[in-house]
A and B are shown apart, each in its own frame.
Chain A
Amino acid sequence: GQNIDQPTEMTATEGAIVQINCTYQTSGFNGLFWYQQHAGEAPTFLSYNVLDGLEEKGRFSSFLSRSKGYSYLLLKELQMKDSASYLCAVMDSNYQLIWGAGTKLIIKP
């Protein structure tokens, strides 16, 4: 079966750095997405990785290792507004998104 694993909840301090991990087992791979979702809102796109390595975009970076079935989202200089759920999703060989359950990130002052 297809499976996406990410931690259920993480807590970090304002101004710090946090890394959210995602491991996956899917039938085929056509890219991995990270989305941010605030409570009661639709997800918003953060990043897309299809090749191994690190993609940096401002305070957010995403890393992919296809051989290990592993990705992480790195958030730097955390702000209170970063409190949200972070969803990892993998596009499989049928170009369908398989979603993780999301990681709820709590930022404390």
Chain B
Amino acid sequence: GAVVSQHPSWVICKSGTSVKIECRSLDFQATTMFWYRQFPKQSLMLMATSNEGSKATYEQGVEKDKFLINHASLTLSTLTVTSAHPEDSSFYICSASGTSGDSYEQYFGPGTRLTVT
């Protein structure tokens, strides 16, 4: 099956700093990548959808200037949490869908746990 990796798997940063999370599709071309956030004991919440080479589409309530998404190639998308605050501490998960494999299935990365102190 398709493999999606995320880096780092966990990160601790100080309030006010920025953190970049990478999401890579290892064996397929991801035309669309999704970024989710999950708070403890809650369901996944879609933050944004990005198509390769175009601007990301953000969900209502998600600040695009705070959560910068770049999808510059068919195998890499990055999420940068700028000026992080403790309330940004969460589990960030990316997923990717491409032109191969089962139609419309999203392949999930392992997630990145962000803790802002």
Contacts and interface: CB of A to CB of B under 8 A. Distances in A.
A96 B97 CA distance: 11
Given A30-B104, A31-B104, A91-B104, A96 B46 contact: yes
A100 B45 CA distance: 10
Contacts of A48: 102, 104-105
Interface in B85-115: 91, 93, 102, 104-111, 113
A101 interface: yes
A7 to B, nearest CB: 13
B81 to A, nearest CB: 18
A5 B46 CA distance: 17
A99 B59 CA distance: 14
Contacts of A102: 43
Main secondary structure of the interface of A (DSSP, over half): loop
Size category of the A interface is 10 to 19
Interface string A15-49: 00000000000000011010000001111110010
Interface of B: 34, 42-46, 49, 91, 93, 102, 104-111, 113
Interface of A: 30-31, 33, 40-45, 48, 87, 91, 95-97, 99-102
